[in-house]
Structure 1
Amino acid sequence: MHCHEDFVRYLSCGMILTGLGHLVYHKKIQTSYGRHMGPSPPGRTVPARRAWFLQEMPALLVPLLLTLTGHRASSAGKYLLLGTFCMHYFQRTFVYSLLTRGTPFPLGVMVSAGVFCSLNGLLQGHYLLHCAQLGDEWSADYRYTTGLLLFYMGMAMNVHSDYILRNLRKPGEVVYKIPTGGLFEYVSGANYLGEIVEWFGYAVATWSLPALSFAMFSLCFIGPRAYHHHRFYQEKFKDYPKLRKALIPFIF
């Protein structure tokens, strides 16, 4: 399969612009699931576990299908990078989704997320397998090793933070509690911080526009979510730690 440079460029730029647009207008956009959702969500809802499984699956499945059209001469470094991307979504699809205790959210949200995961999986997989010029020597480059280190650090932060959140409440409980431990001692959005570090690490490791566009998109979408979570905690709990920030320790 040949590299479609225009597809890669346009979709990457579109992802960045969409993220920036959300960042600018996030205060006017009502979150349509989770704690910020109104008491009567519009339309049909989907159980959280099923929704997370179905919406995250395409980002894992599409790159794996693309490997069937990849060049046999692709370097091992390319497959390691693609495997790193897929590892995140394997965890989200088969671990996070099956353990989450989240509330149901609208079908439209699940479909939108699934479409994005499909397009992003196609973009990242197509670029790495059919466009990227990464020979075996790239595996020794400091950007490759530094980026992968950041990715794995971010993933560890993300998974550990999800574990803390998941165990805040006993099964059946619906009350909100203050998360403590790990990075939650410093920021309200520790799980989001971990994911952002992951994707910027991945962008450094691939040194590519598609990966950078996804990292920017993630920052613009889940960064504001951390901010809203932080405000929620501050308004709900009078004893919420004063020194705790929203997303970046000691800064914001």
Structure 2
Amino acid sequence: MQCSPSLVGALSSVLVVLGLLILWLYGRTPTRYGKHAEAAAEKPLPQERRRHLPAKCAWFLQELPAFLVPAVLLALRNPPHFAPLGCRLLGGMFCGHYFHRTFIYSFLTRGRPFPLHTVLFGMLFCVYNGFLQGYYMVYCAEYPDDWCNDIRFTSGILLFLFGMGINIHSDFLLRKLRKPGELNYKIPQGGLFVYVSGANFFGEILEWFGYAIATWCLPAFAFALFTVCFVGPRAYHHHRYYLRKFTGYPRSRKALIPFIF
């Protein structure tokens, strides 16, 4: 397979447009799953259950393509398979994140059932983005021999690891709020939740901007922008939900960015 810069540019542009469209569509109205699902407090009817998947299954199926597609592209690459720096960055950072989301997070989550259409859209996006990031890093990315000493590489790696740490720790704190089988929502406590309602989202944004800086490529920056457009409104609507539901919710907390927003 040969690198096609025009294909990379087109797919990256579509990703940016998709992110801006999602921001426009869901900036005021939240997506209808999780705490924002219609009639969430009521017991679903039998026909409604058939249109939902358990959270563990939904997260696994949704996130799997984002790990599997780049891994297949790496495996199909002509030798040497893992020698170029772009391949190592893709495997260690992008695939590392989605390995955790697919094979660890999905089996630990205690969330509500997911609508089937949401899972399908998530799977399609992960196939698309997994191909874009994998195709570029495996077949197009070229870095100078001293890239590992570049400030963009080192700062990007550190930001990625910092964001991933926040994301994983915040998910752990959210799981602690619920006992097994429990589905009601409670006020998140501890960690970065002291400052923002969407600490897990903030960590994910830092991750992908770290990845974009370390790789310094258009597809990664397009994905980082998409992440802001997708999880930013989610954090905002979570924040509003908590303020409405809990009279004792800390008013000093922001939605997504500590002390700012």
TM-score relative to the length of structure 1:
0.95
Counterpart of 1:215 in structure 2 is 224
Instruction: Assess if the C-alpha contact under 8 Å between 1:71 and 1:129 holds in 2.
Output: no
Instruction: Assess if the C-alpha contact under 8 Å between 2:70 and 2:130 holds in 1.
Output: yes
112, 115, 123: which is aligned to 1:106?
115
Counterpart of 1:7 in structure 2 is 7
Q: How far did 1:169 drift? A: 1.4
Give the 5 Å matches for 1:90-169: 90-169=99-178
**What SS does the corresponding residue of 1:18 show, helix, strand or coil?**
helix
RMSD of aligned alpha carbons: 1.6
- Cα separation, partners in 2 of 1:3 and 1:76, compared to 1, 3 Å: closer
Q: How far did 1:80 drift? A: 2.4
Q: How far did 1:75 drift? A: 4.4
- Cα separation, partners in 2 of 1:27 and 1:165, compared to 1, 3 Å: same
Counterpart of 2:57 in structure 1 is 50
Q: Give the length in aligned residue pairs.
A: 252
**What SS does the corresponding residue of 2:183 show, helix, strand or coil?**
coil
Give the Cα separation in 2 of the matches to 1:42 and 1:225: 24
Give the Cα separation in 2 of the matches to 1:28 and 1:216: 19
1:72 is the counterpart of 2:79: yes
251, 256, 259: which is aligned to 1:242?
251
TM-score relative to the length of structure 2:
0.92
Which sits farther off after the overlay, 173-182 or 53-62?
A: 173-182
Structure 1's consecutive aligned runs of 4 or more residues displaced over 6 angstroms after TM superposition are: none
Q: How far did 1:18 drift? A: 1.0
Give the Cα separation in 2 of the matches to 1:210 and 1:197: 16
Write the deviation string for residues 131-177 of structure 1: whole angstroms up to 9, x where unpaired: 11113321221101110110000000000000000110112323211
Q: How far did 1:43 drift? A: 6.6
**What SS does the corresponding residue of 1:136 show, helix, strand or coil?**
coil
1:192 is the counterpart of 2:192: no
Q: How far did 1:119 drift? A: 0.8
- Cα separation, partners in 2 of 1:28 and 1:237, compared to 1, 3 Å: closer
Which sits farther off after the overlay, 134-143 or 114-123?
A: 134-143
Give the Cα separation in 2 of the matches to 1:16 and 1:210: 9
Give the Cα separation in 1 of the matches to 2:14 and 2:29: 19
Q: How far did 1:42 drift? A: 8.9
Amino acid at match of 1:249: P
Q: For structure 2, which runs of at least 5 residues remain unmatched after alignment? A: none
Instruction: Assess if the C-alpha contact under 8 Å between 1:164 and 1:180 holds in 2.
Output: yes
Which sits farther off after the overlay, 34-43 or 153-162?
A: 34-43
Q: For structure 1, which runs of at least 5 residues remain unmatched after alignment? A: none
Give the Cα separation in 2 of the matches to 1:189 and 1:214: 19
Write the deviation string for residues 194-222 of structure 1: whole angstroms up to 9, x where unpaired: 00000000000011110000000000000
Give the Cα separation in 2 of the matches to 1:145 and 1:75: 19
Give the Cα separation in 2 of the matches to 1:95 and 1:219: 24
Write the deviation string for residues 86-133 of structure 1: whole angstroms up to 9, x where unpaired: 000000001100000011111111111001001111100110111111
87, 90, 98: which is aligned to 1:82?
90
